[in-house]
Each structure stands twice: as structure tokens, then as C-alpha cells.
Amino acid sequence: MNLEELGAALRAERERRGLSIEDVANTLKIGGRHLRALEDADLSSLPHVAYTRGFIRAYAGFLGLSQAEFDGVLQELAPQENIAPAQAVYMPAEESGSGAALGKLFSLLIVLIILAGGGYFLWSSGLLQKGVALVSGTSGDAPHVAKPSGLPDPAEPPVPAPAPKAAPERKESAPEAKPSAAAPTPAPAPQAAAPEGPAAATPAAAQTPAPATAPQTPAPTATAAENAPTAPATGNDGIQPEQHKVIIIATEECWIRSNADKTDVRQFSLNKGDTFALTFSHRLELKLGNAGGVRIRYDGKEMPPAGTSGQVLNLVFPPEN
């Protein structure tokens, strides 16, 4: 029995059992086109001879054909099995090996170039963001200039500390203490009126620094009052007049590119839970790599969902109707 006769016998037995090519393919886990090629004796559509012989054994065994019926076909295919590997081992293998090596080196070089360029871009953009953070940090420290007013407060109490030591010396010469009291503060008057021992003078001297520091403490409050009305001038959200603010809240990982007023261009990525704010005066262009992964607030107002998860979308603010 040759391959044509075997194919006809396989088709006849399959049809006699009422089976389709798909039924046999699902049972034997062999492609339907290979089973049809066996029935049609089409060697050009079959894989290597070793696989073809395995298909013949499996298909014939499934349909109940005996080994003797298709053993001749296996013997016919055996010589081709020995010749085919000799052609596929040497020359084609060497050519494909050198070509594959060059291809791998070329692809590796491209990947390295891309990684280097991306790393440099991220590094440069990171420096820009750090610079913005430093500028915002210095501007945020400006309102704390009121700290110098607080420094004299702890510095002044230790200064009057030696004053009580000078008080008992004035008791020895009462007429000299009176003119000196008129110059600094009225505090020496109660010291001169105390005729009894130095013990009574020390509490009086301890009380004198209190009124001395009292008139100085309102000074920082006045400066704070002057600074207080200047803060609301920037707006409720810290935005300067005639500016808009867009807040982006990430619910999924999202890549973003922004262009504010055609002057401030940024590219960054947000992870889930991150928040980023952008300010502009006239026009803001946004490109979202995952439109469904962010929530957007425009001037304090929650905007409707921009798009679906994974969608790349361009937005313009103020929104164009």
C-alpha cells in the first residue's frame, strides 16, 4: 500500500464512522490541514518526515487500521527521513546562525541607544522639576520673615538679668538713682520707694523686665498684621489673578505631556494615588496616555471622565465647546 492508497483508506474509514476532520483533529491534537494532506497524499503540505510518520501511526491507529496495512508507507518515507536532515544541518544552519548573530547584535545596539536616550531625557526632565520645586520652596519661605521679630523676645529677657545687681547700688545713693530712673523706664521709682532690705528690691527688679518686653511684643503682631492681608491677594487657591489651575488625580498609572501657554512643556508619569497641579494663563494642552486612569479638576470644578482606560487622548483648557 502506497501513500495514495493509505490516504483513501483513512478517508473511507473516517467517513464510515461518521467523523469529521475537526473531530479527529480535536481528539489526536493534530492540525486539520495535516490530516487532509494525509488523505490527499500531499507531501508538500506535510511537515518533516519524522512528524509525518508519527501522524500516520496516530491517525491509522485511531481508525483501527493494522500496522501491516500502513507499514509499507512508513518504509517508503524512511529514506527521505535520512536525507532531509543532512540538507538542513550544515549550510543553512551556518548562514542562519551568522545572520541571527548579526541581527541580535543590531537589535541590542538599538535597545541600548533607546535606553540611553530615554535615561538622559528623564534625567534632564528631573532636574527641571527639581528646579521648579526649589523655586517654589524659596517663595514659600518668604512669608516667614517674621521670625526675626521672634528672635529678640528670647534674647531680651537675659539682657535685663544683670539689672537687679545694679539696683542695690542705687539704694546707697538715692538722689543719684532718681535722675537715672527718668532716662530708661519708670521702673526704678518703686525701687527707690522700698526702704526695706534688699530682699524687697529683687522682686521689684524681676518685675521690671516684664513691662520692658511688653511694649516690644506688639511689634511683631503689627508686622504680621501687615503681612496678613497680602496673602489673599493671590486668590483662594494660591493662584495669581487671571490664571487657571488644573489638578490631575491618578486612579491608574498614566503618562502625561503638558504644554502651558506654549512656554512650559513637561512630560511625566503618575502612579495610582499621585496628584499633580498645573497653572496657566491662556491655554493648556494635555496628552493623556491613559485617559480613563485620571480625574481632572479645572478651577476647582470636577470635570467629567476624559475617556476610557488605555485610551490616548488630547485635551485643551479652557475646554472648547
pLDDT at 3 (0 to 100)? 78
Going by the DSSP 8-state scheme, the letter that residue 106 receives in this structure is: H
147 inside domain? no
What does the pLDDT look like over 99-147, one tens digit per residue? 778 888 889 999 999 999 888 888 887 765 665 555 555 544 444 444 4
d(CA 73, CA 46): 14
Reduced to 3 states (helix: H, G, I; strand: E, B; else coil), residue 138 is helix
pLDDT of 317 higher than 60: yes
Return the ∠ at Cα 55 (arms to 53 and 60), rounded to 5°: 100
Whole-number Å distance between alpha carbons of 208 and 201: 11
Q: Where are the beta strands (DSSP E) in the chain?
A: 244-250, 254-260, 264-270, 275-280, 284-288, 294-298, 301-302, 313-317
Of 68, 89, 110, which closes a domain? 89
252-257 long-range Cβ contacts below 8 angstroms, 24+ apart = 252/290, 252/292, 252/293, 252/294, 252/309, 253/290, 253/293, 254/288, 254/289, 254/290, 254/293, 254/294, 255/288, 255/289, 255/290, 256/286, 256/287, 256/288, 256/289, 256/294, 257/286, 257/287
Q: Is the pLDDT of residue 204 over 60?
A: no
pLDDT of residue 168 exceeding 70:
no
| Structural domain span for residue 27 | 3-89
* Residue 186 within a domain: no
pLDDT of 161? 52
CATH for 297: 2.60.40
Give the C-alpha separation, 261 to 201, whole Å: 72
Instruction: Provide Rg for the chain, Cα atoms.
Output: 47
Res. 98 pLDDT band, cuts 50 70 90: low
Residue bearing the bigger pLDDT, 271 or 208: 271
pLDDT digits (tens, 9 = 90+) for 2-37: 778 888 888 888 888 888 889 888 888 888 888 888
Q: Is 236 part of any domain?
A: no
Rounded Cα gap, residues 244 and 282, in angstroms? 8
Is 260 or 136 the better-scoring residue by pLDDT? 260
192 occurs within a structural domain: no
pLDDT digits (tens, 9 = 90+) for 174-186: 334 343 333 344 4
Angle at 260 between CA 255 and CA 264, to 5 degrees: 85
pLDDT at 194 over 60: no
Count: domains in the chain: 2
Chain position carrying cell 481632572: 296
Three cell numbers written together for 170: 542705687
Predicted pLDDT at 2 = 78
Region 65-84: what's the mean pLDDT?
67
Q: Identify which of 273, 269, 268 has the alpha carbon closest to the alpha carbon of residue 254.
A: 269
Task: Give the end of a domain, one of 89, 111, 146.
Answer: 89
Q: What nine digits make up the cell of 114? A: 533607546
Q: Provide the percentage of residues in the chain whose pLDDT is more than 90.
A: 26
Instruction: Establish if 122 belongs to a structural domain.
Output: no
- Name the band, by pLDDT with cuts 50, 70 and 90, for residue 260: very high
Please report whether residue 29 resides in a domain.
Answer: yes
Q: Indicate the burial class of 266 (C-beta count within 10 angstroms; 0-12, 13-18, 19 or more).
A: middle
What does the pLDDT read at residue 250? 94
Contact 6, 56 (CB under 8 A): yes
Higher-confidence residue of 68 and 164: namely 68
pLDDT band at 61 (very low <50, low <70, confident <90, very high): confident
The arithmetic mean of pLDDT across residues 291-295, rounded, is 93
The residue among 263, 271, 275 whose CA lies nearest residue 289 is 271
Residue 66 lies in a domain: yes
- In the predicted model, what is the mean pLDDT of residues 205-233? 39
Write the DSSP symbol of residue 271.
Answer: -
Could you count the other beta carbons within 10 Å of the beta carbon of residue 2? 10
pLDDT band at 313 (very low <50, low <70, confident <90, very high): very high
Is 136 part of any domain?
no
**Higher pLDDT pick, 289 / 145:** 289
pLDDT-based confidence at residue 287 (cuts at 50, 70, 90): very high
From 89, 122, 147, give the residue that closes a domain.
89
